[in-house]
Amino acid sequence: MDGRVWASQLIGEPGFVRALDERTVRIDATPFPGDPLAEVLQGAGTQVGMLTIDLATRRRLRLNGEAERRPDGIHVRTRRVSANCPKYIQAREPETAGAESGLQDRDALRSRGLTDEQRRLVSDADTFFIASVHPEGGADASHRGGKPRFVRFRGGNALEFPDYSGNTMFNTLGNLAVNPSAGLLFLDFEGGNTLQLTGEARIVWDAGRAARFAGADRVVEFRVQEVVETRGAVPFRWRFKGYSPIKPT
């Protein structure tokens, strides 16, 4: 949308994502009004990256391809599929549904900068998701995890986060090296809100900057250009079960 990259969430009961055949995935969920995903899915052949993740078991699968909205759900024709390791995933279990039952009543609030409350959500986060795009490889969605405060503000709407040793695929870093446009998604697991940020990211190779984060190989700096906050967007509340046993080294 307008050349910007966004990360969005779709949540449902087990089985809401199904493989129809070896190349096609159907998602029985609808993005809420105001989510940038709802706007880009109006046309056919939208490039998307997907990360299906089960926080309770720390299992995740990554894929990308072309998405199309149909009467029975969102269909994704896959281009690339890969399983990822469980590193840095904090275990959580869905506990209760939110007080509101319909996504259609939820308001998405847009702004150019972050409020103090939104900055606290970012700083306190132990998990977020990042979307990036390569002009030839397509879109990608990935997970990032760490202890609270592993995302730090540098002043204004600039923030930074460490890049730890992962699955050595370097999808996100490779995309950012070519195209700095990126989207971040933060979930309020206790309150049910979402915070979507879009902007530009750059990889910082300065060893001194990386040394400020224990175990970081490098740092990614992100400058926020637009913010979408949606209250009550997550239909579950989540019980925290423990940090990942895999720690940055």
* CATH code of domain 17-239: 2.30.110.10
What are 141-185's pLDDT values in tens digits? 999 999 999 999 998 899 999 999 877 778 899 999 999 999 999
Query: Is-contact 94 237, C-beta < 8 A?
Result: yes
Which residue type is seen at 63? L
Structure tokens at 36: 């940038």
What are 2-48's pLDDT values in tens digits? 779 999 999 888 899 999 999 999 999 988 888 999 888 876 778 99
pLDDT of residue 155: 85
Domain ranges of the chain: 17-239
pLDDT of residue 106: 66
B/e letters for 21-59, b = 16+ CB within 10 Å, e = fewer, are eeeebbbebbbbebbbbbebbeeeebbbbbbebebeebe
Report the share of the chain in percent with pLDDT over 70. 94
pLDDT of residue 177: 96
